[in-house]
């Protein structure tokens, strides 16, 4: 069987931390949106490396280490494409791992329901209009106050590390690790993020499906994906997906330049 044909995209992005030049091999056929998640995340990771380099030049050091899981008590948002990709990843796990994961997921939802948060999280996942960040902040704080561990956390280590959401990949800090034990009160210093990949994918999905941009709380991601399973069969031309994704990324980069008081480099 011949390999799927691909088109090479030379990508140049000006970011607040420097210029990114890279190459993407994009499938030319019709593909589901989940097929471009690895390419999109790779761009995000390369932009984050530029931010890390800039921080190191300023004398700062990344303090995050394996087993340091304080951030795994935060409310993690996923875009719809990431929810579909996570569901597909879980479905290919061995049956015993799936069963253990589903037990932890059920326990997590029960705990959140007992605290009155499950319905509030469901309202975010099912919102028909975008929810402003300032309206989400009380929910974020209430969730973090529980110190509720991510259902994918096993022995303080991420059990889905290779498939973890973009929001998890983007959180790196240069402040002492012990400060992360109370992220709400301590002066934690995160590495700046040029573009939130979950936001890019969320905007892309909204544009492709003529729907509202949404982010889905991680504890409900598998449920949401199951409820929208019919959308996983939708396909688009690979180059069209990448063009649209880059358009969303460029717009968000422009906003980030403005937020930092910088001008995009020529």
Domain assignments of the chain as residue spans, ordered by start: 6-259
Residue 253's pLDDT is 96
Quick check: 138 and 123 in contact, CB under 8 A? no
Question: Would you state the pLDDT for residue 256?
Answer: 96
pTM over 0.85: yes
Question: Residue 201 is encoded by which pair of tokens?
Answer: 């994918």
Q: What is the structure's pLDDT at 3?
A: 56
Positive or negative torsion for Cα 6, 7, 8, 13: negative
* Residue pLDDT tens, the chain, 266 long: 455 688 999 999 999 999 999 999 999 999 999 999 999 999 999 999 999 999 999 999 888 887 788 889 999 999 999 999 999 999 999 999 999 999 999 999 999 999 999 999 999 999 988 888 899 999 999 999 999 899 999 988 999 999 999 999 999 999 988 888 887 788 889 999 999 999 999 999 999 999 988 899 999 999 999 999 999 999 999 999 999 999 999 999 999 999 999 888 65
Give the pairing of strands 6-15 and 18-27. antiparallel
Question: How confident is the model at residue 266, as a pLDDT?
Answer: 58
Q: Supply angle C-alpha 140, 136, 102, rounded to 5.
A: 55
Give the per-residue pLDDT at 69.
84
The token pair that represents 40 in the structure block = 């999109």
Helix or strand (DSSP H, E) at 239: helix 238-259
For the chain, first and last CA: distance in Å?
44
What 3-state class would DSSP assign to 48? helix
Q: Which pLDDT does position 1 carry in this prediction?
A: 45
Q: Tell me the C-alpha distance between 56 and 58, whole Å.
A: 5
């Amino acid at each position: 069987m011949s390999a799927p044909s691909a088109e090479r995209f030379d990508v140049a992005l000006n970011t607040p931390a420097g210029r990114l030049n890279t190459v993407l091999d994009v499938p030319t056929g019709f593909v589901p949106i989940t097929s471009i998640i690895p390419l999109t995340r790779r761009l995000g990771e390369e932009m984050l490396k530029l931010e890390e380099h800039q921080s190191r030049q300023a004398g700062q050091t990344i303090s995050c280490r394996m087993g340091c899981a304080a951030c795994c008590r935060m409310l993690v948002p996923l875009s719809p494409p990431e929810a579909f990709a996570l569901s597909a990843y879980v479905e290919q796990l061995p049956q015993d791992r799936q069963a253990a994961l589903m037990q932890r997921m059920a326990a997590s939802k029960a705990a959140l329901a007992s605290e009155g948060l499950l319905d509030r999280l469901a309202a975010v996942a099912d919102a028909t209009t975008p929810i402003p960040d300032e309206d989400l902040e009380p929910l974020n704080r209430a969730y973090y106050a529980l110190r509720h561990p991510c259902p994918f956390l096993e022995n303080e280590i991420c059990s889905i590390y290779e498939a973890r959401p973009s929001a998890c990949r983007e959180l790196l800090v240069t402040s002492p690790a012990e400060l992360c034990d109370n992220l709400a009160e301590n002066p934690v210093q995160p590495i700046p993020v040029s573009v939130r990949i979950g936001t890019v994918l969320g905007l892309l999905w909204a544009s492709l499906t003529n729907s509202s941009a949404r982010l889905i709380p991680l504890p409900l991601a598998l449920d949401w994906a199951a409820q929208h399973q019919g959308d996983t069969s939708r396909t688009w031309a690979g180059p069209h997906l990448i063009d649209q994704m880059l358009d969303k990324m460029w717009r968000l980069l422009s906003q980030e330049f403005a937020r930092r008081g910088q001008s995009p480099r020529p």
